[in-house]
Structure 1
Amino acid sequence: MFGPDICGYSTKKVHAILTKDGKNHLIKKDVPCETDQLTHVYTLIIRPDATYSILIDNEEKQTGSVYEHWDILPPKKIKDPEAKKPEDWDDKEYIPDPEDKKPEGYDDIPKEIPDPDAKKPEDWDDEEDGEWTAPTIPNPEYKGPWKQKKIKNPNYQGKWKAPMIDNPDFKDDPYIYAFDSLKYIGIELWQVKSGTLFDNIIITDDPALAKKFAEDTWAKHKEAEKAAFDEAEKKKEEEEAAKAGEDDDDLEDEEDDEKADEDKADSDAEDGKDSDDEKHDEL
């Protein structure tokens, strides 16, 4: 399986899955894919020397060895399971400084002290309220539990690693690059947006031919596609801006209508008041 995989916000990569003996092997490298809405060309090249290249738009994005970047075969070398770390191996990079001593009385420093600014309330009654004690505050002299400083270990030997030996289960495959079962083309697709098109698919043993095929198809139209896409996006933005303006106008009209209704209601109420006053005058 080969091609881009975009799912949500986290998955945006090129899949390169090689199948051998009925088992799928994922590439161990993270190859980012394109995420815009334009057309792109993805190319996978596997060579007889077991090297490979992944190209996007005819530009190499990843290359290496099939042996190293897929776990198709067991590793050639493994850690010696019989090896043991020597008892006198010193793998501590830092050690306590023997010259650093804890100051006298350090443990006697309290974490909190009575607030020197606190005053006994004037209405405090010792007989009824008990003996007054000042509230406590953090002690600025308290520095927490004492920790001895550390220094570089002069005897540090590094992290111990078991020596590597030949893997007895490794058996080379001189045809690891060959996939004789590659006879059909299928597209695995799951998406919630329409409009994706696939075309110009080629399988060949000539990388130069594949490159020229991409130049004769995708490359000839990429500039025109980009221009058409930009024009469509610009038109879309203009239409959205115009609609937003219409919505604002409608909102202003609604506010004007509401204001007019309020003014009319106030006017009617005032007319009614004047009429009542006239009736009282007549009486």
Structure 2
Amino acid sequence: MSAPALPLPRLVLPALALVAALFVVAVPAVSEVIFEERFEDGWEDRWVRSDWKRSEGLAGNWLHTAGKWSGDEADKGIQTSPDARFFAISAKFPEEFSNKGKTLVLQYSVKHEQKIECGGGYVKLMSGYVNQRKFSGDTPYSIMFGPDVCGTQTKKLHAIIQYKGQNYPIKKTVPCETDQLSHVYTFIIRPDASYSILVDNREKESGSLYTDWDILPPRKLRDTKAKKPDDWDEREYIPDPEDEKPADWDSVPSEIPDPKSKKPDDWDEDDDGEWYPSMIPNPNYKGPWRPKKIKNPNFKGKWKTPWIDNPEFEDDPDIYVFAPLQYFGIELWQVKAGSLFDNILVTDDPEYARQVAEETTLKNKDAELESFEEAEKKREAEEEREARTAREEGERRRHGRDRRRRSRDYDRRIRSKSDRRREEIKSKYSRKYDDDDDEEDDDDDDDYFMDHDEL
């Protein structure tokens, strides 16, 4: 028979309660996944293709594919096709999401297989009701984020935020990737109005919604009426007032006669004047005397216009809050199609987003690079084969033209020779003079008749 359990001492019970409370506090909050799409089977049931530009024949298609090269052929996304089209597709969240008091993380991957020259690869989060069949470039959005490339000038990440019905782009220029491989783009907005932009889980930019967007007037302004005080001393160093110039300082000349200089043997002072040796710099000369410099005890630094409170600034602690988010959309115009989107995530947990990026796109990064390089080798070999075929065909055509030209030249030579022969025969035999001319016919020596038997 086991011994009965003894009651715990009274001092132990509060201690256990405290440990339990500390344990509860230490447990992290469960992350919330608002929307996640990896484009596995059944993805089309969750997405709506827009009819935007379809009546004009300019609506593009979305291909379910892993692309021409990938790190995992089973990991498929959706890809724009064909060229010179408008693309619009959207999905509705299972439930609308309010980011008030929460961190908002928007993340996805995109691969520009077409070596994009002018087109976007950005996405949108939208609030309120959206007619997904009419989703277009005119549909209001809360956030637009992602790469945009056009020519040599535009190669940046958009980060546009809607605030009270107006769109505000980030003031900083954040460069985007422009190669033909997959990259993960992440936009994090926190309740303290701070933000981070990551590419492949590496932070590329960070700051505050207050300073990096012109959403609100600045908190502080330079006081344009302020003037530098008359007694403001900006001199960091000043001459030492106790330093005195040595008495013999000025007695040292800057130049001295060159000891190697000698009067020429043929120097005639009557004709050449008095001879003087050439001068050289004096090694003992120290230059003009200047007192030593010492730290200025009254130095106040370089004067700057002071900051003052901006009377037009009115703080909004909810500057980071959006109307409840309800849709994820991709809306683009692309001159050259081929952008492949995958691994879309909207959550409130940056750590979960980081893990998703590592477990999906970034896990296959090396394998995708190998696949791309192999595809490039095949493409280059095919281009070389086509170029060689074109050169050979060009040679055949050139030889054919040469043969035809030689044949034409030969025919012309034969015809020319025949024509000359005909003219010679005609010249030789076409005239026959009358040898029986009588004396009365002396003026008719030039008469002739055609001897047809000899022609």
- Per the TM superposition, whether the score is higher than 0.5 is yes
Distance 1:167 1:276 in 2: 103
The alpha carbon displacement at 1:74 in A equals 1.6
Q: Give the helix-richer structure, 1 or 2.
A: 1
CA shift digits 1:85-114 (9 cap, x unpaired): 899xxxxxxxxxxxxxxxxxxxxxxxxxxx
Distance 1:18 1:26 in 2: 6
The alpha carbon displacement at 1:31 in A equals 0.1
The alpha carbon displacement at 1:59 in A equals 1.1
Determine the structure 2 residue equivalent to 1:36: 179
Alignment TM-score, normalising by the size of structure 1: 0.65
CA shift digits 1:46-73 (9 cap, x unpaired): 2233321100111111112222111222
The alpha carbon displacement at 1:231 in A equals 2.1
| 1:13-32 mapped onto 2 (5 Å cutoff) | 13-32=156-175
Aligned counterpart in structure 1 of residue 365 of structure 2, from 222, 226, 243: 222
Deviates more, 1:166-175 or 1:57-66: 166-175
Deviates more, 1:272-281 or 1:188-197: 272-281
Determine the structure 1 residue equivalent to 2:35: none
Distance 1:278 1:79 in 2: 104
SS at 1:2 equivalent: strand
Q: Which runs of 5+ in 1 are unaligned?
A: 88-158
* Residue 69 of structure 1 pairs with residue 217 of structure 2: no
Q: What root-mean-square deviation, in Å, do the aligned CA atoms of Structure 1 and Structure 2 show? A: 3.1
The alpha carbon displacement at 1:269 in A equals 4.2
The alpha carbon displacement at 1:244 in A equals 1.5
Which has the higher Rg, Structure 1 or Structure 2? 2
Corresponding letter in the other structure for 2:334: Q
**Percentage of pairs with the same residue:** 55
Q: Which runs of 5+ in 2 are unaligned?
A: 1-143, 231-301, 430-455
Distance 2:362 2:204 in 1: 18
Aligned counterpart in structure 2 of residue 3 of structure 1, from 143, 146, 159: 146
Corresponding letter in the other structure for 2:220: K
CA shift digits 1:191-227 (9 cap, x unpaired): 1222222222111121110000111111122223222
Determine the structure 2 residue equivalent to 1:261: 404
Determine the structure 1 residue equivalent to 2:193: 50
Determine the structure 2 residue equivalent to 1:119: none
Determine the structure 2 residue equivalent to 1:156: none
Corresponding letter in the other structure for 2:404: D
Distance 1:33 1:168 in 2: 37
The alpha carbon displacement at 1:245 in A equals 1.4
| 1:159-174 mapped onto 2 (5 Å cutoff) | 162-174=305-317
* Residue 245 of structure 1 pairs with residue 388 of structure 2: yes
| CA shift in 2, pair 1:166/1:274, >3 Å | closer
Corresponding letter in the other structure for 1:25: Y
Distance 1:169 1:223 in 2: 52
The alpha carbon displacement at 1:162 in A equals 4.9
Which has the bigger relative contact order, CA under 8 A and spacing at least 6? 2
Q: Give the strand-richer structure, 1 or 2.
A: 2
Counting matched residue pairs gives 216
Alignment TM-score, normalising by the size of structure 2: 0.42
